[in-house]
Structure 1
């Protein structure tokens, strides 16, 4: 189906005003958080302007109470339907994985699944491979099951059952011996959903409703059926190379319900995140196991548990969460368990750079500022400038009010929090940045991934 342009350049100029006019609040905001809300709103508006996002919802909870929930822009640009965080349903992409992991956790609590037995115990029809594959390895992206290939991400084929979707990978060989490498795979979750069916004796989507969505009050979370009318479902948008916003291509996510096929709202995702801070929905044993980062057989950390990314952020605080990319939607779900802060953000554009917006929002609601080492701005002055990473990737370091910011390929700048050893780290905690003087002269920025043999060097231009 050809893309259809949906607005003119004049409409583009008006969109910023519409964000102000149609910004919607679903609940009164607690007065004690007003300063955090004002600062967070500014961060969101900055992100919207940078990406030209048609519609966005954000919700935040602290200690189990929602303290901010707001919609920006439109769920439907043509009909000018404003986003409402309490009901607008967005594609959540790979945030579907933690949802599916929760269903697996319920079965584990009930003693209906074992994590290390061959998957054929639950899915007898799945062909045996060169090495056995288990639920633990599948949930941790250590199984060797492949990810998308070619244009599969754009599939518009209807699959009527989990087993039909599983046919995409059933005849494929494993990429490596399970456990040896971390290799992200949405298709591995197809196999998990088939195992859930085998263990519980009912259809996967039915069990998700019974075991996860209904108990947690996630009344607007559902599969993204393309053959049904779904109330409050947003339209999906993308941008052309020239920057025009257009309707996203039609896709059918029935081939990957478990790994990337659900719709939800930010407020439903808040409920889901809150349920993983304390035992209750899942047992203490299961919750700790699901949120424990795995390692490869060689001991290399993966920063990923059972369906959740888990690690320390750039200030040393533990977080777990997941991002989700889909055709016409980018999602972030972030949980800081020690501070009991949950942030959920959803957009209806498939091309969005969040930068560190969700992390900075979380820190605003923690009530404690990001640690700021007493650095002399004069000492930082050599660092800002343009860099080339590994000789060909452009990056930039800038300074604002005594803080360093980093951007790559013209992306949204992210804050670099200083550490006592003189290094810097983004709030995600994914990398460590160090600035060094080169023996041959000039300055270089060395970027490393903690615990992993990944190192990128950028030379200042």
Structure 2
């Protein structure tokens, strides 16, 4: 084969000079919010201590035709987490707790796991605790069921395992921040909402900001949240998440700007606290985690950024701060939209230079000549047991191919008999086959490794299908699922979800209609003892087989 060169070139994005900025540039990004009788939101941008843009769009309440304005109050969703984190920081600075304390010191009802979870783990989303929305969903709670902090505490106190060893991974978890709120209450002996107002919101003159988990209360000047069910037809979305600590802070664009300003112009008495809020830490492996204490600390094309977003019911919120540029962007909306993140980035580009170094990495490869017999021995199906998906390796037209589940494929260019460079992509990925262990490793440019195990898929026999049937119970969730066999197919059933089809991916690994994956455990005689289920932010939660059908 001839030498093949793979070029990895960073995507070029045009950035506007600050002098070219205008209100029209920003206003033009919100054309969808200008339609009559639509909900909308509020956008505020400050740069170098000057308000560059401030505008409200649409209706806060459609039936009463109340418009949004700059003092309209919105639920800011997960932006709330940074205020909870600041509460922990203040208690640390007062010597009332340490972020390196085990959580059981303040939450004695929490189980003792195999590894210690510290407050720091909760702050960084590295605790391994399963996230509460997914726990409730798996337990049978529906969208619309009211969930309180007490409900979350009750479920977390029953957990016996974690998703992973604390500190080994980052996995966003609302559970951790709900527990942080309880720690603040237990340490201060005060109601969380009152303590936060007294110690954080009022000192920063965030007079319109408060915590409210009871959505049934009528609060003046607060926007109603909506979703669009068909063009220009909107439906109210009630917020039935009654938890606090992870969400349910209500605020205005002006109050959030007061807060964000502290990331680059901090009062002397708050400098230590805000520095601590930006604390980053590496994982046990040494890899970087860019989630600090309730905020992401990252960069946007080389510009350092402190940011968080929020989504709850129909509310969407964005808070971007670029401390080195004295730039703040706040977008608050009262209807569901996935475009706000893109728009926030476009606004950022209007004010920032592209400081990232355009990388052009030429990777020269001299593929070795391998005969078809050598290539074909790597063919097969390979399973990633961590993230529960498979990849197919197959030989065609003198080339070994890597096939993804979406039917997209990449050629594998041989470096040696067992190592291949993946072609057709803009990054360096190496595939290494270990024949003695039937393992395939995918090695990225940062040396992170994904492991795949070779397996064979065989159509299950009626006896094998029958072995999966039965009723399975989780003491951690206090709920049961039943798996039955009908007309040669497996079906799951839950009293609140009804029936759904179950498909076998490989022996003892079952797909629950794309909702989750169950891995069935057998005894030495081949009898199914139960299964471990994985979905989103839950891994390997145990269900014991209680009855065979």
User: Does structure 2 conserve the Cα–Cα contact (< 8 Å) formed by 1:73 and 1:82?
Assistant: yes
User: How big is the shift at 1:210?
Assistant: 0.6
2:43·2:253 contact (CA, 8 Å) conserved in 1? yes
SS in 1 for 2:331: strand
Counterparts in 2 of 1:89 and 1:317: CA distance versus 1, 3 Å: same
Contact 2:239 2:312 in 1 (8 A): no
* Max Rg structure: 2
Once the two structures are superposed, the pairs formed by residues 307-326 of structure 1 within 5 Å of their partners are 307-313=294-300, 315-326=301-312
Match of 1:60 in 2: 45
In 2, Cα distance between the equivalents of 1:61 and 1:450? 38
Residue aligning to 1:170:
157
Is residue 2:106 matched to residue 1:122? yes
Q: Does the CA contact (< 8 Å) of 1:90 and 1:265 recur in 2?
A: yes
Change (3 A) 1:73 1:244: closer
Go from structure 1 to structure 2 and tell me whether the alpha carbon gap of 1:127 and 1:245 turns closer, same or farther (over 3 Å shift). farther
Residues 165 and 254, structure 1, Cα contact 8 Å, conserved in 2: no
The residue that corresponds to 1:200 in the other structure is: 188
Following the alignment from structure 2 to structure 1, what is the Cα–Cα distance between the partners of residues 106 and 257? Answer: 31
Q: Is the 8 A contact 1:325 1:331 kept in 2?
A: yes
Q: Determine if the alignment matches structure 1 residue 328 to structure 2 residue 314.
A: yes
1:56 shift after superposition? 1.4
Per-residue CA distance 1:93-135 (angstroms, 9 max, x = gap) = 1111112112222222222220111112222333333322111
- Give the 3-state SS of the residue equivalent to 1:193 in structure 2: helix
Partners in 1 of 2:422 and 2:446 — Cα distance? Answer: 24
Question: 1:216 & 1:281 partners in 2: Cα distance?
Answer: 13
1:64-119 CA-to-partner distances (Å, cap 9, x unmatched) read 4433221011111222211112x211121111111211222222222222011111
Against the structure 1 CA distance between its residues 391 and 227, is the aligned structure 2 distance closer, same or farther, given a 3 Å change threshold? closer
Q: What are the within-5 Å matches in structure 2 for residues 157-306 of structure 1?
A: 157=146, 159=148, 162-163=149-150, 165-173=152-160, 174-224=162-212, 225-240=214-229, 242-243=230-231, 245-255=233-243, 257-280=244-267, 283-306=270-293
Which of 56, 61, 84 is matched with 1:71 structurally?
A: 56
Q: Is the 8 A contact 1:96 1:260 kept in 2?
A: yes
SS in 2 for 1:260: coil
Larger helix percent:
1
Q: Which residue is equivalent to 1:154?
A: 143
| Deviation of 1:163 (Å) | 4.5
Report the Cα distance in structure 1 between the residues aligned to 2:178 and 2:87, rounded to whole angstroms: 13
Deviation readout 1:373-427 (Å, 9 max, x if unpaired): 8x9xxxxxxxxxxxxx956399xxxxxxxxxxxxxxxxxxxxxxxxxxxxxxxxx
SS of 1:234's equivalent in the other structure is: coil
C-alpha offsets along residues 199-223 of structure 1, whole Å, 9 cap, x if unaligned? 2221111111011111111122222
Q: Which whole-Å CA distance do the structure 1 matches of 2:342 and 2:77 have between them?
A: 19
The 1:351/1:451 distance shift into structure 2, 3 A limit, reads farther
**Cα–Cα, structure 1 residues 274 and 154, in superposed 2: closer, same or farther, change >3 Å?**
farther
Alignment of structure 1 residues 93-108 onto 2, 5 Å: 93-108=77-92
Give me the whole-angstrom Cα distance separating, in 1, the residues matched to 2:60 and 2:50: 26
- The equivalent position to 2:342 in structure 1, one of 337, 356, 374, is 356
SS, match of residue 235 in structure 1? coil
Matched pairs, number: 357
Aligned to 1:114, what secondary structure does the other structure show? coil
Give the aligned partner of residue 392 of structure 1.
Answer: 406
Correspondence for 1:134 among 95, 99, 118: 118
Q: Distance in 2 between matches of 1:96 and 1:358?
A: 19
Kindly indicate which of the two structures has a greater share of residues assigned to strand.
Answer: 2
Distance 1:111 1:48 in 2: 48
Instruction: Structure 1: give runs of 5+ residues left out of the alignment.
Output: 1-31, 376-388, 395-436, 456-461
Are residues 111 and 278 of structure 1, via their aligned partners in 2, closer, same or farther at CA, if it must alter by over 3 Å?
farther
In structure 1, C-alpha distance between the alignment counterparts of 2:185 and 2:282, rounded to whole Å = 28
Structure 1 residue 238 displacement after superposition: 1.2
Deviations 1:39-83 (A, max 9, x none): 1111233x6489x97211111223444332210111112222111
Distance in structure 1 (CA, Å) of the matches to 2:216 and 2:178: 21
Change in 2 beyond 3 A, CA 1:185/1:53: farther
Hey, what's the Cα distance between the residues in 2 that align with 1:355 and 1:44? Answer: 12
Closer, same or farther: CA 80–34 of 1 in aligned 2, 3 Å: farther
| Alpha-carbon contact 1:33-1:67 (below 8 Å) kept | no
1:345–1:215 CA distance, 2 compared to 1 (3 A): same
| Cα 1:280/1:153, change in 2 over 3 Å | farther
The answer to whether the 8 Å contact 2:110/2:156 transfers is no
Q: 2: CA distance between counterparts of 1:39 and 1:349?
A: 23
Distance between the aligned counterparts of 1:89 and 1:324, measured in 2?
Answer: 14
Q: CA deviation at 1:364?
A: 2.5
